[in-house]
Structure 1
């Protein structure tokens, strides 16, 4: 298996090369409802998760929507 290193919320993780954002969300049991993901500070829309593939050194940030005033 060919692996790459990515960052998820500032923590390094080894993942299979060519993993999609959707694969990573599933693999690490990340919450997907009410969440926004960005890769290298670019927000990825939900419909692009399956087709957005990670590269060596990519940084994923997870933001949860918070309701309130």
Structure 2
């Protein structure tokens, strides 16, 4: 299977072509509680993670929601 490079918080990450966002989250054991993910500056809702296919050079940003007061 062909490998592609995506950028997660400005770090290069190798993954399989046609890989979905859920698979990347699982591959890297990324935190999912209180997490939001944007691809190319567009927020991807959690319900779309399993159907969002990653492309070469996608810019992925992982946000952790932090409660404060």
Q: Is the pair's TM-score, using the shorter chain for normalization, greater than 0.5?
A: yes
2:40 match: 40
TM-score, normalization: structure 1?
Answer: 0.96
Task: Count how many residue pairs are aligned between Structure 1 and Structure 2.
Answer: 69
Partner of 1:54: 54
Name the Cα RMSD after superposition. 0.6
Structure 1 gap ranges (5+) = none
Runs of 4+ in 1 over 4 A off after TM superposition: none
Aligned-partner Cα distance in 2 for 1:58–1:43? 13
Q: How far apart in 2 are the matches of 1:56 and 1:63? A: 21
Structure 2 residues not aligned, in runs of 5+: none
Q: Could you give the per-residue CA deviations for residues 4-25 of structure 1, whole angstroms, max 9, x where no partner exists?
A: 1100110001100001000000
CA distance in 1, matches of 2:25, 2:60: 10
